[in-house]
Amino acid sequence: MLNFATRRFGLSLLILFVAVTVMFLMIRAVPGDPVQIMLGPRATPELQAQLTAALGLDQPIWKQLLIFYGNLLQGDLGTDVFSGRAVTDIVFQQLPYTLELIFASILWSATLGIGLGAYAAAHPNTLIDRIAAAISVSFVAAPAFVVALLALLVFAVHLQWFPAIGAGDGFLDRLDHLVLPAFAIGLSWVGYIARLVRASMLEVMGESHVRTARAFGIAERRVVMVYALRIAILPVVTVIGVGMGFLLSSAVFAEIVFARPGLGKLVIDSITTRNYPIVMGSVLISTALFVVSTALADLINALLDPRARTAH
Amino acid sequence: MTETLLEIDHLSVDYETGRGDLKALRDITFNVNKGEIVGIVGESGCGKSTLISSILRLTAPNTRFREGEIRFKGQDLLQASDRQMRDLRGADISIVFQDPMQTHNPVLTIGQQMLDIQHRSKQSKADKLAHAAKMLGAVGIPDPEARLKQYPHEFSGGMRQRIAIAMALMSEPDLLIADEPTTALDATLEVQIIERLQELQREFHCAILFISHHLGVIAELCDRVVVMYAGAVVESGEVREIFHDPKHPYTRRLIECDPGHIKERARVLPTIPGEVPDLANLPGGCIFRDRCDQAMARCATDVPPLDQLKEGHHAACWLNHEEVTT
Ligand SMILES: Nc1ncnc2c1ncn2[C@@H]1O[C@H](COP(=O)(O)OP(=O)(O)OP(=O)(O)O)[C@@H](O)[C@H]1O
Ligand code: SF4
Ligand SMILES: [Mg+2]
């Protein structure tokens, strides 16, 4: 197990390195002179030269990359071009908002999706199974930003059940502000996870070891919940881990629609202003989040499935 | 003395499929008495697994029980409630399923699974684990306490087969059903398992319904044998009778190909030329006709009934009818 974890960690670092390097090069390939955009058309050439030097943009690109990694190893992501604050401060200030949003979205959608899928699989082709399938399909088809806008209109503006904008202060208020955005992000996942669990569950229920469990008179509830479900949710764990990238992009929409602080909003804002250090910092953290979540999914799978521990 | 435990009475079972009903079992009749070992032999696909899964009603969802009864201690299991069936499973009747590599749950330890199947016992967890370790020891698994903490994939096929046997015997059932428990094993292991089964049978006095491809094993272990062909019983009787004086051409061919020595085994059941009839589209007359070298005109038109030829010896072949032989 330990061995497995170490190898998985090494792999994560490698993925992170590659992704960040590619991102670093890509953002420099965006057309238009960043310094001009940042300073506006009326800036003096001296001012432009000064900023170019401050950002290190006068250096060859490989040197810029080296400097970036050199600073990164010391925990330094540079400073905000406009406010002069450390990028790490700004990013880590926004991070919790995005994390709580994503976590809440996964939590409610996975719980409901797994429950729905397992129930449907235990009662295949019944009316409830069909209703669940219909709900799943319509949920899967619902894009997060559309759901976010509708939820905002119906539940915040019209019914006024939940607050429309911001992230709130204090535990209960924050929770209250989480409901609508988490609902918007999670909704399509409910359907997706339910369908995944149902299919995977039906397959597992047909396997011989389930028949063995029944042949010993083990209660049907235990057969379904322990003997079958534990195997059937393995693919769900992987899908959620890998789906982190998708969740992050949904979070961007939700943060914009609900005017919530968060990483997504930060990235969008800083890209439009070509605030390179902030963009790189947020991208680095988002990528790290993605890498950590896939690694975490693999570790959870290894904990749930003894075969995965030795297979690697 | 001979008290009947299990009676299969004119049982017919179909599988519903896309190309119509597959008549997997037709008019199966035989008994298993208390403490007796009965063997079932027949080629792949003749319905052996369907038969034993039917006894515990653990067949695939597309199974239809068309006719007949399965009586256990007088009670018809096909009419029993789900609750009654659950109470029998793993208590009065235990099964060792065919494929040892798929039979255990891959994500639970063997110890956990052996604990779970003792759900009816009021003992403490420690006592249950001790019981499990003792049973593993009894089927020849070395260092059983430590191995309870391991997962199925950490055992070889032969060991998993023995674990399955240990689990089935744990509740001291009245009837143990074993579906080809030695097919996955090599010859030496097979002999060991057979000997172990005989010892255990003497110890626990359970009846055993033993399914095999291998006549040698049947000859060694069983009191009586049922020969199946394409979903029907073609001959049944005492092992000695059947080996000495087979009354059905199919049985004779089986014996010619596999003379019944446990140590020189035929890897697969001997191949007899000709094809098994399509179960979804059965021809009239004798089902063995296409492969029988003694077939007569009558065999093409009339189905031979399973007749009692001697006390306890049945066969379904027109050759045994006097009008023909004289
Ligand atoms: N669920 C099912 N649906 C349709 N046909 C089935 C199903 N299960 C088994 N069959 C068919 O029924 C027949 C009997 O199968 P069964 O598994 O009982 O044979 P078997 O004697 O146990 O064979 P083997 O020695 O290979 O284990 C075969 O033709 C098989 O293909
Ligand atoms: S009934 Fe006829 S075809 Fe069938 S086994 Fe006997 S002799 Fe052969
Ligand atoms: Mg079989």
Average confidence (pLDDT) over A253-262: 82
Closest atom of ligand 2 relative to the B292 alpha carbon:
8
pLDDT in tens, B109-129: 999 999 999 999 999 999 999
Enumerate the residues of chain B whose CB falls inside 8 A of the CB of residue A207: 102
Enumerate the residues of chain A whose CB falls inside 8 A of the CB of residue B106: 209, 231, 305-307
Q: The tokens 């749930």 sit on which residue?
A: A304
Ligand 2 lined by B210 (C-beta under 6 Å): no
pLDDT score at B1: 54
* Interface contact B117-A218, CB threshold 8 A: yes
Closest atom of ligand 1 relative to the B213 alpha carbon:
25
Q: Place B325 in a pLDDT band, splitting at 50, 70 and 90.
A: very low
pLDDT in tens, B149-186: 999 999 988 899 889 999 998 988 999 999 988 776 77
Ligand 2 lined by B71 (C-beta under 6 Å): no
pLDDT for residue B326 is more than 50: no
Question: Which H, E and C letters describe A287-305, residue by residue?
Answer: HHHHHHHHHHHHHHHHHHC
Ligand 2 lined by B317 (C-beta under 6 Å): yes
Average confidence (pLDDT) over A111-120: 90
Mean pLDDT taken over chain B: 88
* Interface contact B94-A207, CB threshold 8 A: no
Pairing of strands B63-72, B4-17: antiparallel
Of B61, B89, B103, B163, the C-alpha closest to A218 is B89
d(CA B14, CA B275): 21
Ligand 2 lined by B249 (C-beta under 6 Å): yes
pLDDT in tens, A64-88: 888 888 888 887 877 777 777 888 8
Report CA(B99)–ligand 3 centroid distance (Å): 9
* Interface contact B106-A307, CB threshold 8 A: yes
| Ligand with minimal distance to B62 CA | 1
Q: Which of A143-147, B154-158, B184-188, B267-271 has the lowest mean pLDDT?
A: B267-271
d(CA B163, CA B203): 18
Closest CA of chain A from B103, distance in Å: 4
Q: Place A312 in a pLDDT band, splitting at 50, 70 and 90.
A: very low
d(CA A231, CA A237): 11
Average confidence (pLDDT) over B268-280: 72
Do A210 and B107 form a contact (C-beta atoms < 8 A)? no
Ligand 1 lined by B47 (C-beta under 6 Å): yes
- From B56, B116, B153, residue closest to A215, measured CB to CB: B56
Max mean pLDDT among A155-164, B139-148, B261-270 falls in B139-148
Give nearest CA residue, ligand 1 atom 1.
B60
Closest atom of ligand 1 relative to the B61 alpha carbon:
1
Q: Which of A155-164, B67-76, B97-106, B209-218 has the lowest mean pLDDT?
A: A155-164
pLDDT score at A197: 92
Residues 6+ apart with CB under 8 A from B252: B246
Of A117, A283, A86, A303, the C-alpha closest to A200 is A117
d(CA A177, CA A219): 42
pLDDT for residue B268 is more than 60: no
Q: Is B102 on the interface with A (CB under 8 A)?
A: yes
pLDDT score at B15: 95
Report CA(B28)–ligand 3 centroid distance (Å): 16
Query: Which phi-psi region, left, alpha or beta, contains residue A102 (left: φ > 0; alpha: ψ -120 to 50)?
Result: alpha
Mean pLDDT taken over chain A: 83
Q: Which of B13, B21, B22 to mutate to test the pocket of ligand 1 (most atoms within 8 A of CB)?
A: B22
Q: Which of B50, B179, B276 to mutate to test the pocket of ligand 1 (most atoms within 8 A of CB)?
A: B50
pLDDT for residue B45 is more than 60: yes
Enumerate the residues of chain A whose CB falls inside 8 A of the CB of residue B86: 217, 219
Q: Which residues pair with B32 in a beta bridge?
A: B6
pLDDT for residue B261 is more than 60: no
* Interface contact A226-B108, CB threshold 8 A: yes
Average confidence (pLDDT) over B257-270: 55
Max mean pLDDT among A231-245, B136-150, B176-190 falls in B136-150
Question: Counting one residue from A and one from B, how many pairs have CB atoms under 8 Å apart?
Answer: 72
Enumerate the residues of chain B whose CB falls inside 8 A of the CB of residue A209: 102-106
